[in-house]
Amino acid sequence: MSFFDDEPDDEPTRANRPARPRQAQTRTQGDGMTDAEMIQRRRLVGAGVAAVLALILIFGGMSCASSRKKSALKSYNQQVANIIKSSDTEVSPQLFSLLTGDAETADAAATANKIRQLADQNVKDAKNLDVPGDMTAAQRNLEQVLNLRANGIKKIAGDLGAAKTQGRGAVDAIRRISGQMQLFLASDVIYSQYVKPLISEALADADLKSTEVLGSRFLQSFGWLDFGQTAERVNPDAGGAGSTPTGEPAPGSHGHGLTSTAIGSTTLVAGDTPSRVTVTAGMALAVTFQNQGDNDEANVKVTAKVQPSSGRAYTTSKTVSQTKSGESANVSLPLTQAPAKGSTATITVTIGKVPGEQKTDNNTASYTVFFN
Q: Which of 163-177, 257-271, 340-354 has the lowest mean pLDDT?
A: 163-177
Which is more confidently placed, 268 or 64? 268
Residue 62 is predicted with a pLDDT of 62
> Could you tell me if 319 and 231 are in contact, meaning their C-beta atoms sit under 8 angstroms apart?
yes
Alpha-carbon gap, residue 105 to 162, rounded angstroms: 7
Q: Are residues 296 and 341 in the same domain?
A: yes
Euclidean distance between CA atoms 276 and 267, whole angstroms:
10
- pLDDT of residue 176 exceeding 60, the answer is yes
Q: What range defines the domain where residue 179 resides?
A: 67-234
149 pLDDT band (50/70/90 cuts)?
Answer: very high
Q: Which of these three, 188, 203, 234, is where a domain ends?
A: 234
Inside any domain, residue 247: no
Q: d(Cα 160, Cα 176) in Å, to the nearest integer?
A: 10
Determine the pLDDT at residue 1.
46
Q: Own/partner pairs for 203-210, CB < 8 Å, 24+ apart? A: 203/73, 203/74, 203/77, 205/134, 206/66, 206/69, 206/70, 206/73, 206/134, 207/70, 208/70, 208/73, 208/74
Q: What is the pLDDT of residues 265-320, one digit of tens each?
A: 999 999 999 999 999 999 999 999 999 999 998 889 999 999 999 889 999 999 88
In this structure, the answer to whether residues 228 and 346 fall within a common structural domain is no
Q: What is the pLDDT of residue 14?
A: 53
Give the end of a domain, one of 203, 234, 265.
Answer: 234
Q: Which of 80-89, 117-126, 159-168 has the lowest mean pLDDT?
A: 159-168
Q: Are residues 84 and 114 in the same domain?
A: yes
Give the pLDDT confidence score for residue 36 in this predicted structure. 76
Q: Same domain, yes or no, for 226 and 271? A: no
If asked whether residues 177 and 226 sit together in one domain, one would say: yes
CA distance 315 to 225: 22
Q: Is the pTM of this model over 0.85?
A: no
Q: Which of 202, 234, 266 is the endpoint of a domain?
A: 234
Instruction: Flag whether 336 is in a domain.
Output: yes
**Do 86 and 198 fall into the same domain?**
yes
Same domain (yes/no): 198, 289 = no
> Residue 45: inside a domain, yes or no?
no
Please state, as a whole number, how many other Cβ atoms lie within 10 Å of the Cβ of residue 181: 23
Cα–Cα distance, 303 to 258 (Å, whole number)? 11
Q: How many domains does the chain have?
A: 2
Domain match, 315 and 188 both: no
Residues 218 and 300 in one domain: no
pLDDT exceeds cutoff 90 at 16: no
Report yes or no on 57 lying in a domain. Answer: no
Residue 9: pLDDT over 60: no
**Domain shared by 179 and 298, yes or no:** no
Q: Give me the count of residues in the chain.
A: 372
Work out the average pLDDT over 19-48: 66
User: How many CB atoms neighbour CB 304 within 10 A?
Assistant: 22
The answer to whether residue 2 sits within a structural domain is no
- Measured at the CA of 293, the angle between CA 296 and CA 228, to 5 degrees, comes to 40
- Whether residue 361 sits in one domain with residue 290: yes
Structural domain includes residue 110: yes
Mean pLDDT of 313-333: 93
CATH number at residue 349: 2.60.40.10
Report pLDDT for 232.
83
> Same domain, yes or no, for 202 and 266?
no
Whether residue 248 is contained in a domain is answered as: no
Instruction: Write out pLDDT tens, residues 185-244.
Output: 999 999 999 999 999 999 999 999 899 999 999 999 999 998 888 988 898 877 666 766
Residue 167: per-residue pLDDT: 77
Q: Dihedral sign for Cα 350, 242, 290, 266, please.
A: negative
Helix 168-190 and helix 136-163, axial crossing angle in degrees, nearest 10:
170
Residue range 66-71: average pLDDT?
85
Sign of the CA dihedral with 327 first, then 333, 339, and 344 last: negative
Burial 238-257 (b: 16+ CB within 10 A, else e): bbbbbbeeeeebbeeebbbb
Is residue 42 a part of any domain in this protein?
no
The C-alpha atoms of residue 276 and residue 297 are separated, in whole angstroms, by 34
pLDDT at 4: 46
